[in-house]
Amino acid sequence: MNDVPEIRAMIRELAAYERAAEQARASEEQLREALFGEHPAAHALIAEDDGTGEAVGYALWFPRFSTWTGTRGMHLEDLYVRPRARGAGHGKALLAALAATCRRSGYDRFEWWVLAWNTPTIDFYKSLGVELMEEWKVCRLSGEPLSELAAQAPDVGRPAPDA
């Protein structure tokens, strides 16, 4: 729980790198609840510098479910290593730890997104044997369009589960 301020700082660094700093609005309280609340929405791993113990990277993930395989999988929401620590194996170590979690948990899939312009990261992923799913597009509904569509929903009588 003490890592939440550092995770939040790295989320903001990642958002700045991805040219979307203004979109990183999660508060420490929201992250604390998401990671350590009664019903955690996500899990995080921290990479630390061997010499100083300083947090130099993180991975944040959550389980997902495939109707095609009938099994759970893992969605990696964020993988970030601070620029000064890149090339030291932290990113690969985080991914390897998550792959091991997948195997231990019986997950069939480990999936995430990468920005199309992020060539260094794509090259890194390819070096690990990652399959890029070029035929898929990410769809997102948020803000006013989300509200407008929600207003058209029939009354089904029960709210979505907290998960």
Which amino acid makes up residue 2? Answer: N
Domain-embedded: residue 147? no
Domain region containing 69: 4-135
Rounded Cα–Cα distance for residues 41 and 163 (Å):
7
Assigned token pair, 48: 């630390």
Nearest to residue 107, comparing CAs of 68, 77, 66? 66
Catalytic amino acids? 125
CB atoms within 10 A of CB 135: 5
Give the pairing of strands 71-81 and 109-112: parallel
pTM here?
Answer: 0.88
Domain-embedded: residue 158? no
Domain-embedded: residue 39? yes
| Per-residue model confidence as pLDDT tens digits over 31-78 | 999 999 999 999 999 999 999 999 999 999 999 999 999 999 999 999
pLDDT value for 47:
97
CATH of the domain at 75: 3.40.630.30
